[in-house]
Amino acid sequence: MNRIVAIAILAVGLAATALAGAGAASAHATRIASDPVENAELTQSPARVSATFNEALQPEFAAMTVVGPDGNLWSTGAPEVSGAVISVGVRPLGPAGTYTANYRVTSADGHAISGSWSFSLTAAGTGTPGPSATTPSETSGTSGTSGDEMPVWPFMVVAVVIVGAAAVWAVRRQT
């Protein structure tokens, strides 16, 4: 029976290692600041909006949009990633109301992070909007927030199978 105990301990150890690995991998970039700040009340259009994270971002697959109260895009041009900051240009704004900045960035660990924040324009501007908006997470298809955490259950299944197989093997050897 010593053998089966040893194998069970080994299997539990492997599962624990896998779980620890999955936990460490989930420590990805988080947004620590934005410009304009969340819920800012602006009387004039900002030239750009930006979000700052707690670590440098990967420049690949970055997306950022600003969507107005009219449902149209008010951001313009490609988003720019510089170190821990992503930003995008903004047209002169139009209707007063709530504008939402949406972003999707890639952490140093390869995880896609998406989110949004809003600010409001209190005095209507004279700008003209871009096309009707779809947020980055809607256009990105398979790589939204839902796919960015590694599932734990496969490791548990593997651990159970290893323990079960070891038990069967040990019992067979004794008969």
Residue whose structure tokens are 């209190």: 122
Q: Give me the least distance between CB of 57 and Cu ion, in Å please.
A: 12
Contact window for Cu ion (CB under 5 A) among 50-58, 88-96, 106-114, 118-126: 106-114
- Residue 35 or 109 having the CB closest to Cu ion: 109
Taking CB under 5 A as the rule, does residue 28 contact Cu ion?
A: yes
Q: Give me the least distance between CB of 117 and Cu ion, in Å please.
A: 20
Taking CB under 5 A as the rule, does residue 31 contact Cu ion?
A: no
Q: Give me the least distance between CB of 146 and Cu ion, in Å please.
A: 14
Beta strand spans in the chain (E) = 31-35, 41-42, 48-53, 58-67, 75-82, 85-90, 97-106, 112-121
Binding pattern for the stretch 108-147 against Cu ion, x by CB under 5 A and - elsewhere = -x-x------------------------------------
Query: Do residues 32 and 111 lie in contact, with contact meaning Cβ atoms separated by under 8 Å?
Result: no
Taking CB under 5 A as the rule, does residue 104 contact Cu ion?
A: no
Query: What residues contact 61, with CB distance under 8 A and at least 6 apart?
Result: 104, 106, 112, 140, 143
Q: Give me the least distance between CB of 173 and Cu ion, in Å please.
A: 43
**By beta-carbon distance, which residue lies closest to Cu ion?**
28
- Residue 28 or 104 having the CB closest to Cu ion: 28
Residue whose structure tokens are 């002169």: 92
- Work out whether strand 112-121 and strand 41-42 pair parallel, antiparallel, or are unpaired: parallel
Q: Give me the least distance between CB of 109 and Cu ion, in Å please.
A: 4
Q: How many CA atoms lie within 13 A of 58 on its CB side?
A: 11
Query: What residues contact 115, with CB distance under 8 A and at least 6 apart?
Result: 31, 102, 103
Task: Return the H-helix or E-strand segment holding 153.
Answer: helix 153-174
- Residue 80 or 109 having the CB closest to Cu ion: 109
Site residues (vs Cu ion, CB under 5 A): 28, 107, 109, 111
